[in-house]
Amino acid sequence: STDNCHCDIIECTVKPKPSLDSPAIKSTILIKLTAENKHVLDHLLSKIKQLVHLITIADATIHYYNNNATTDDNDADDTNGCETTARVQDQRNILLLGAGRVASSVATYLGKSPYHHLTIAGANPNELPAVASRALHSTQIVLDATRDHEQLTHLISQNHIVISLLPATMHTPVARACLASRTPLVTASYTAPDITALHDECARSGVTIVTECGLDPGMDHMSAKRVVDDVTSRGVW
């Protein structure tokens, strides 16, 4: 950051180095550049291009997102603004049900990407602003999932994925609504029999429901994995 320009790393994904017989998977970094005028921005872009082309072994490419338009490396000089923005067609809509403590962590992690729009829905309107403030793009909706079934169903149909951080007893109606609109669902709770009973219907509809992504289930899974690895390493299994 200087007096004339500012650089923010919005998203960074580092992929492992591929083996000789596996396809190459490139790491990616999304950077937001802000400058006081086009001249300063163009100068900064030229420096980034020089750096990319300097490291030829990286086989790197640059994509510019500006004013909802995309240009390739050869069209860099056409940049006509001072701030890059995510394209609308790339945006993913995420419905986050529940606004408790865990919701803040989820909003912080997923909300840092300009490609994610989070809709935070909860019964307590006082909890929503703190969670919504963690995301770059967010909407707050007061919703009682136990009563407002019509609104819940509508919200689910408007999103690409649903993350339910509601109490475990409330996941089943959410799951059924996700099935109806063919929207994937992720929960943090242990798998209940009612959810397991939806397996065949999910398979037929092509709907993915992933449970047990929370802290307690996660600790169980990791502990079990450690035991399995230990047994396997001893040649017992």
CA–CA gap between residue 150 and residue 166 (Å, rounded)? 17
Kindly give the interhelix angle for 149-157 and 171-181, rounded to the nearest 10 degrees: 50
For 168-201, the pLDDT digits (tens) are: 899 999 999 999 999 999 998 989 999 999 999 9
Q: How many residues does the chain have?
A: 237
pTM: 0.61
The pLDDT > 70 percentage for the chain reads 78
In percent, the amount of the chain with pLDDT more than 90 equals: 41
Q: Would you state the pLDDT for residue 38?
A: 79
Q: What is the pLDDT of residue 73?
A: 44
CB 12 within 8 A of CB 30: yes
Closest CA to 171 of 157, 158, 155, 190: 190
Q: Which pLDDT does position 234 carry in this prediction?
A: 87
For residue 220, the model assigns a pLDDT of 87
- Please state, in angstroms and rounded to a whole number, the distance separating the CA atoms of residues 51 and 207: 43
Q: Is the confidence at residue 79, as pLDDT, over 90?
A: no
